[in-house]
Structure 1
Amino acid sequence: MKIAFLGSRGIPARYSGFETFYEQLAIRLVERGHRITVYNRSYFIKDVRGYYRGVRIISLPSIPSKHLDTISHTLLSSLHALFQRYDITYYCIVGNSPLVWLPRLTGSQTLLNVDGEDWSREKWSGFARWYQKKCEWIATKASRVIIADAQGVQDRYREIYSTDSIFVPYGANVQTNTGTETLQKWGLHPREYILYVGRLVPENAIDLLIQAFTEVNTSKKLVIIGDASFADAYRKHLYALSDSRVVFTGYAFEQEYAQLSSNAYLYVQPSGINGTRPALLDQMGFGNCVLVRNSPVNMEVIGDYGCWFDENQGQGDLKSKIQLLIDNPEIVESYRNKVTERINTYYNWEWITDFYEDLFQRMVSNMSLISYDSYLKQKDKIID
């Protein structure tokens, strides 16, 4: 099949979960003989042209501002896609929903991965927030298939818009990298730091994590991997909250990311906005004990394989749980010993690729569609 992925910053993944998802799925589909195209933002990824690991790369410009960057690039990508005759056109980000109908004019089957409640993010206000919320309704009309990355998101679209979607989780790779070169660069030691990974934006609640951590009695450090575009004020706010134990590394990829992840003592996910956090799955794949806010989506992901703090009690409970896990390394080790089972038995990239391949084929053949869980049961996969 001829398949295109639109709406992200592009691959290789250097920004967020959507880029990681596109890269992991696109490469696997190429290996299975499909012709895959990913649309990149030319200002963001400048060193990749032509092909990346067998995936065709189309680099197009955008208007690089907070409100117009994504939609302007996706518009150009959609217009280009009109002339490519893709069998499948896959969009991400609900704010792109007004454009999803375009490829359907030439017979392409479209999917839109809506993520969580994007309109509720603190970066949106006024018209932008209204637009993002309106895009949820538009998504139910414009796309052939809506993809939800968590069952909580699926429930939301069913309850509010009376629209069925297909739940497909993100995946993760079970892996480890015990190298320490990156740790030495930042003055770190194995198992002597707590880790957070994500964009430095208000909805990710990094300020909550820093405030809780600075009250913890420990010599361990807090390492924060990530950055964000158009978020200078929040970044400065985080710096002001931090003490000498907090280390900001900026973005980290490939070997640097793997080393920092593999050697962490504990991973903390303080945010609770609906939508699965691929970084959380990544850290479970690295075998880390994870501590998350007890939002429905986070609890859905970790099952019985991680720890949680009460979002209603906020900073106080987060501080207490971090202290508890630092003071009781045997608890951390017990979760570390079993957490990868969760990835292998549900969040498995190969199984997810199998499902998408089946879903795409059903769409182009006009066959009835089935859920991810139903597919796994048909294939005798294990569901935890």
Structure 2
Amino acid sequence: MIYVSVIGIVGVPACYGGFESLVENLLDYIPFNVEYTIFCSKKNYSKTTQIYKGAKLKYINIKANGIWSILYDWISIIRSRNSDVLLILGVSGCSILPLVRIFYKGKIITNIDGLEWKRAKWKRMAKYFLHYSEKIAVKYSDVIIGDNAGITDYIDSKYKVSSKLIEYGSNHAKQNNSSEFAKEYLFCEKPYALTVCRIEPENNISDIIKAFESGGNPYPLVIVGNWNNSKYARELYLKYSSFNNIKLLSPIYDINRINFIRCHATVYIHGHSAGGTNPSLVEAMNLGLPVLAYDCIYNRNTTENEALYWRDSEELNKLLFEDLTKIALRMKEISNRRYKWEFIAKKYNKLFNF
């Protein structure tokens, strides 16, 4: 039996973001010779359980995000000293790896996520620490994973190592045409453009909204995001929440509810400029939505240059008037070929074997 400890997520059942959904779906494809232990933040779960989808759950009474994520990951790693494999998701806790390597004899596999230290939301000291943690992760891990060719090319070139490309699955995002949410979301009865993301500067939210600010678009805009999470987000909400053609919704973690909103959309607008293969993008592709993506290497890799791309609000506005039928078909074909959880799980499971 190979004992794998998963470090760096809020926990399962998934209630937060991309890494949580990754683990949630990996658990559907556990090999007979692998046993998972997953560390979860007790702060996020009112009810706890010892076993979930065949995996053991261990709880730490610390927040898993922000500055607390460092201590949260350190404790998780130290408590995993008897495991065969550490699967570390994100680099915030990797600064402890030089010490861990003194006593830990197992395999360390780290998915570095995006280039977190480049994100605009971090101040200078945070950027320095995250960049340092990235270097430590690469140096002391047996395997480095990137979920986008833009990430793996960067790692291979900068650190002169051979990283592994393992992308993100999307087929958990399923069509939901039931009438359960129809009365709650009446806007779904007519065409609309949709964005689902965290409200952060590098996701180009202000440019997306500006493309709809003056009206005259073929569709209204719906954005689902965390509008209370920062000053930047609150200012945008205060300025635009009263616009008739712009609807700003709070985060939605119910998969059936968000799938209902996504599958009724006419077009998906993706503004992320940092990171790798973004979950919300590949999920939209799996639902067969045409994609208008911010023009950067990560989004072009994910969509194989088959989406439509923009760099500012004016370019985005023009793209809204394009014929999007063929784009939708191409996005679905790419998703079927590349972003299935069965394929993703096999790649992870292969890494666990010594």
Q: Shared topology, TM-score over 0.5?
A: yes
Deviations 1:172-225 (A, max 9, x none): 106311124334313322452211111122222212211112234137332222
Which residue matches 1:265? 266
Is the CA contact 1:42–1:60 (under 8 Å) kept in the aligned structure 2?
A: yes
Offset, 1:107: 2.0
Give the % identical residues: 24
Which residue matches 1:171? 169
Offset, 1:228: 7.1
**Which shifted more, 251-260 or 212-221?**
212-221
**CA RMSD for the aligned pairs?**
2.1
Find the aligned partners of 2:308 and 2:257 in 1 and give their Cα distance.
26
Deviations 1:19-63 (A, max 9, x none): 111211133226x56311221111123334222222222111225
Distance 1:102 1:287, change over 3 A: farther
Q: Does 1:98 align with 2:77?
A: no
Which residue matches 1:343? 335
Distance 1:180 1:224, change over 3 A: farther
Q: How many residues align?
A: 348
**Which shifted more, 92-101 or 38-47?**
92-101
Deviations 1:252-288 (A, max 9, x none): 2221011111111111101211311111001111111
Distance 1:240 1:158, change over 3 A: same
Q: Does 1:199 align with 2:191?
A: no
**Which shifted more, 258-267 or 170-179?**
170-179
Find the aligned partners of 2:194 and 2:314 in 1 and give their Cα distance.
19
Which residue matches 2:56? 56
Which residue matches 2:41? 41
Matches within 5 A, 1:132-147: 132-147=130-145
Which residue matches 1:275? 276
Give the aligned residue type for 1:89.
L
**Which shifted more, 117-126 or 96-105?**
96-105
Where structure 1 has 5 or more consecutive residues not aligned to the other structure, the ranges are: 326-330, 365-384
**Which shifted more, 48-57 or 17-26?**
48-57
Q: Does 1:244 align with 2:248?
A: no
Where structure 2 has 5 or more consecutive residues not aligned to the other structure, the ranges are: none
Find the aligned partners of 2:180 and 2:28 in 1 and give their Cα distance.
28
Is the CA contact 2:9–2:20 (under 8 Å) kept in the aligned structure 1?
A: yes
Give the aligned residue type for 2:314.
G
Distance 1:202 1:140, change over 3 A: same
Offset, 1:119: 0.9
Offset, 1:304: 4.6
Offset, 1:148: 0.7
Q: Does 1:256 align with 2:253?
A: no
Query: TM-score of the superposition, structure 2-length normalised?
Result: 0.91
Q: Does 1:20 align with 2:26?
A: no
Is the CA contact 1:115–1:275 (under 8 Å) kept in the aligned structure 2?
A: yes
Q: Secondary structure at the match of 1:287?
A: coil
Find the aligned partners of 1:102 and 1:55 in 2 and give their Cα distance.
27
Give the aligned residue type for 2:276.
G
Is the CA contact 1:37–1:58 (under 8 Å) kept in the aligned structure 2?
A: yes
Which residue matches 2:188? 189
Could you tell me which of 105, 120, 123 is aligned with 1:122? 120
Offset, 1:292: 0.3
Find the aligned partners of 1:333 and 1:360 in 2 and give their Cα distance.
41
Could you tell me which of 348, 352, 356 is aligned with 2:344? 352
**Which shifted more, 100-109 or 273-282?**
100-109
Give the aligned residue type for 1:218.
N
Offset, 1:97: 1.7
Is the CA contact 1:215–1:319 (under 8 Å) kept in the aligned structure 2?
A: no
Which residue matches 2:149? 151
Give the aligned residue type for 2:147.
D
